[in-house]
Amino acid sequence: MPMTITEKILARHANLERVSPGDLIEVKVDMALANDITAPLAIKVFKEIEARKVFDPYKIALIPDHFVPNKDIDSAEQAKVMREFSAQHQIVHYYEVGQSGIEHVILPEKGLVIPGDLVIGADSHTCTYGALGAFSSGVGSTDLGVIMATGKTWLRVPPTIKLDYEGNLLPWVEGKDLILHTLGMVGVDGANYRSLEFSGTVIRGLSMDQRLTMANMAVEAGAKNGIIVPDEITMAYVAQRSSRSPFVCTSDPGADYEKVIRIEVDKIEPQIAFPHSPANVRPLSQVGNIAIDQVFIGSCTNGRLDDLREAVTILKARTVARGTRLIVIPGSQLVHREAIGEGIIQTLIEAGAVIGPPCCGPCLGGHLGVLAEGEKALSTTNRNFIGRMGHPKSEVYLANPAIAAASAVLGRIGGPEEL
């Protein structure tokens, strides 16, 4: 019986020869993940079920990234709970401020996820790791608390929607635009509890950073997971970061897809998601004159080194518009260090940007860039719901890093061609 890549990974972790959409299965987890918001709740559940030890201290990652460096007493207490639990149970992959960054950036760069893994995280954007050919999905903190004790969870095998991207990308169009365009097509509920398999010649031509961006936003369509079949780009990326042996597989010819959607990219412009939905997209040419108060470049969606490189190609020898704030937050300590070495941080500062410590920052309205009433922001993040980055009467628009950088210079939403 032919299977998709998602079905093969799930079957392997359930110790079954094959699975089909709709099957309820129990699977072993290769990596369990939580952050400073979700871990304290999971730890509470872990204690309530009277678990004495974690299932494997090497297979749990606890990353403080949402409210760090701690912004107030409550966030400091949350971080303390996770820090003390990690010390008590000798969690190997606990990374303190100064060592880490955003969870979904540092796990791939530290080689903690490889093709064929099954990753469950108490964060909806755990689907990011599908870019590496892993099955990865988010759960609630209650489920994660039990997973930390048992190393197992149950799943319903999702049907798969195959997205086949073909053609040639226009200038300044990248992975972020492809996923925004896709969300505009299928909607925020168009893939509810489905697996989104990203495929085609265009996907195979994307860098790993751009693939991670696309898989990161699969959940914005309601997907259970997003996934890309591993290729030579995947294997080169993983080989530099992990000594583990990956389980590399592909979808079989004749695999049963719920549907196959072919997307011709030749005419796709840079995409802008308007308030208050990632699926409310328009091509850049149809945006109009929208002045912006703040631009944010960063997050688990676009806080990697390629993203910062893209931004400085626009910002070099230019200055942020008067009346507009530009906030840039590298996705990890490694990204920050490499950006310093390449002169990227210097260029950003000379352009008028403020650089924050590696963390989620303003993405969820946490800190380091919260919006006031009536303010408009252009952001490289993944969500723009009402109140997502601050005041419920603020507005958030989503775009790729090149568009964000150009807009910071223009003081309104616009593209590099205008510069």
Q: What is the DSSP string of 155-215?
A: EEPPPEEEEEEES-PPTT--HHHHHHHHHHHH-TTTTTT-EEEEESHHHHTS-HHHHHHHH
The Cα–Cα gap between 61 and 43 comes to 13
SS3 44: helix
Which two three-digit tokens encode residue 19? Answer: 């699975």
The Cα–Cα gap between 345 and 329 comes to 10
CATH number of 272-418: 3.30.499.10
**Digit-coded pLDDT (tens) for 360-393:** 999 999 899 999 999 999 999 999 999 999 999 9
Which two three-digit tokens encode residue 287? Answer: 């945006």
Do 146 and 246 form a contact (C-beta atoms < 8 A)?
A: no
The Cα–Cα gap between 80 and 64 comes to 10
For the chain, the structural domain boundaries read: 5-262, 272-418
**Digit-coded pLDDT (tens) for 120-145:** 999 999 999 999 999 999 999 999 99
Give the chain's radius of gyration (CA, Å). Answer: 20
Assign 3-state DSSP to the chain and report helix, strand, coil percentages, each to 5.
35, 20, 45
Do 384 and 275 form a contact (C-beta atoms < 8 A)?
A: yes
Q: Tell me the C-alpha to C-alpha distance, in Å, between residue 105 and each of 191, 277, 305.
A: 24, 24, 10
Which two three-digit tokens encode residue 156? Answer: 């319903």
Count CB neighbours of 239 within 10 A. 12
Residue stretches of the chain with pLDDT short of 50: none
Q: Which of 275, 283, 276 is nearest to 173 (CA)?
A: 283
Pairing of strands 60-63, 31-35: parallel
Q: Write down how long the chain is.
A: 419
Q: Which 8-state DSSP code applies to residue 101?
A: B
The Cα–Cα gap between 278 and 185 comes to 11
**Is-same-fold flag (5-262; 272-418)?**
yes
The Cα–Cα gap between 304 and 275 comes to 25
Which two three-digit tokens encode residue 415? Answer: 């593209």
Superfamily, domain 5-262: Aconitase, domain 3 (3.30.499.10)
Q: In what order do the strands lie in the sheet with 118-121?
A: 93-94, 60-63, 31-35, 118-121, 135-138
pLDDT of residue 366: 86
pLDDT of residue 1: 86
